Amino acid sequence: MKRTSGILLPITALPARFGVGDIGPSAERFAGFLDRAGVRQWQILPIAPTSSFVGDSPYAGHSAFGGDPLLISPERLHEEGLLTTSELDRAACPPARRVDYPEARTRKAALLRRAFDRAEPSLTHDTDFHAFLTVNAHWINDLAFFLACKEAHNGAAWYDWPTPLRDRHDSALREHGTRLAREILFHKFCQHRFFKQWGRLRSHINDLGIDLVGDVPIYVTHDSPDVWCHRRLFKLDPQGHRTVVAGVPPDYFSKTGQRWGNPVFDWQANKETDFSWWCARLLHHFGLHSQIRLDHFRGFAAYWEIPASERTASNGRWMPGLGRDLLHTLQRRTGGDQELPILAENLGIITPDVEALRREFHLPGMHVLQFGFGPGAERTPNAPFRHEPLGAVYTGTHDNNTTRGWFETELDSKAKTRLERFTGPLPDPAGVPRALIRLAMASPASQAFIPAQDLLGLGTDGRLNIPGRSTGNWSWRLLPGELHPLDSPALADELAELNEFYGRTGDDLLYGDYEEHLRAPSRG
């Protein structure tokens, strides 16, 4: 087992030139910072296409397989000769702490259209493009067709389309396929360029010895090709409307729970297909990342089902999941001789059946330090002394306040006293993020993740998401020079010292001859 550290930073939060982070040069520069800091993992949020209709949430993407064209790097398209220098300069935005999603989408869409216009004549003979379409035929055709139809129907959801198209009658599919052929090709082009750039970025990161940790939500968005094309796998009425929706009961984050609104899986119908859609989805993401954080893992043991007519999550009920059957099937598909590269998000209301499922498949769980100092916290897995080696510790997650914001606005005096029993006196809130970072680094958990905002010591204004709030989330981002290998060398070197001191260098733990290890030549 290796001990590592990681930084949690969404792709959108990178300081790219075009109003939102992307998978181009700014991502490689951030990887350079991680390398200098001795950080071996970069954790991101889901990369699926999003929109303003879902509050720009990466957890409400419009595809279980596709990448968000918003994250495509115009600079990489320029290197291909598909964009001019003047076009890049006109589309560039001044640095800003927050993403203006509508503006960023408008600028990126215009650039992608120009790039497509230039690439289109050569696509017929582009062997790499056609190989990509062949390998990904199980999802790319549905996604491109869906997006083209959605645009043709003024953004309407698929369940509000004309009945023949909504219900996928052959005649309607043929007619739209012919009429929208160029738009369908455009969306295939965007997906090809996204994954071409993704492969380049991941190769660069892996060459530095850094692993990319992805994030896969359990649920998919109702208005998505996955639901439209696989209706029998979800609990829907004959018109395609949801009969029940997903969410969670009242908890730390919300007094009325969270009504996410996603359609709920018909687990028995999925089992009858040998979980083919699920396995294809997870195997796809295994190929994109070294490890994936499987969001809302407890839903694989039992999930909270809410009548679609209810406005809050309070009046839902627990229903059994078929996660054990799914994971056994997935193991069989991967050969069965290796552990699944899954980090189980086991936060919230966790019952013994959830932990039994996680342990059966030897999946690391999560520990959140911000949850480790409240009343009775010493009896929970979040208390610093209860972390498991097969686990990942976080100072906070994307759903938490920043550590400084948490200390300043959410922690009562008793909890502060409990915290200081671990850290020593904390007279200045500015020192709290560093104190929790040290606690995370010292944790028995083999993985330790630090949100970028905590590394920068930011307060509540750096918070990424407030669960239950439908707007204003997911927009925080780095400014140029922050967490940059050349502009932030002192911070990188400080983090490198912590990694070395706490043994988070990515080396295998030794349980044998320590004296022989000590006699070995120093790596430095």
Residue 399 a catalytic site member: yes
Residue 461 a catalytic site member: no
Q: Can you say whether the dihedral through the CA atoms of 409, 415, 417, 420 is positive or negative?
A: negative
Q: Edge to edge, what strands does the sheet with 302-307 contain?
A: 258-263, 244-248, 302-307, 317-320
Quick one: which of 391, 342, 343, 340 has its CA closest to 368?
391
Cβ-contact 449, 41 below 8 angstroms? yes
Q: Which of 399, 482, 497, 515 is catalytic?
A: 399
Q: What single DSSP character describes residue 129?
A: H
Cβ-contact 348, 254 below 8 angstroms? no
Q: Which of 223, 295, 454, 482 is catalytic?
A: 295
From CA 309, how far away is CA 126, in angstroms rounded? 49
From CA 351, how far away is CA 341, in angstroms rounded? 23
Phi-psi map region of 194: left, alpha, beta (phi>0 left; psi -120 to 50 alpha): alpha
Q: Which of 211, 345, 454, 482 is catalytic?
A: 345
From CA 228, how far away is CA 220, in angstroms rounded? 11
Measured distance between the N- and C-terminal CA atoms of the chain, rounded to whole angstroms: 22
For the record, the structure tokens of 22 come out as 């992307």
Q: Give the number of other CB atoms < 10 A from CB of residue 518.
A: 8
Q: Give the number of other CB atoms < 10 A from CB of residue 311.
A: 9
Q: Give the DSSP letter string of 346-382.
A: --SS--HHHHHHHHHTT--EEEEGGGSSSTTGGGSTT
**Residues annotated catalytic, as ranges:** 295, 345, 399
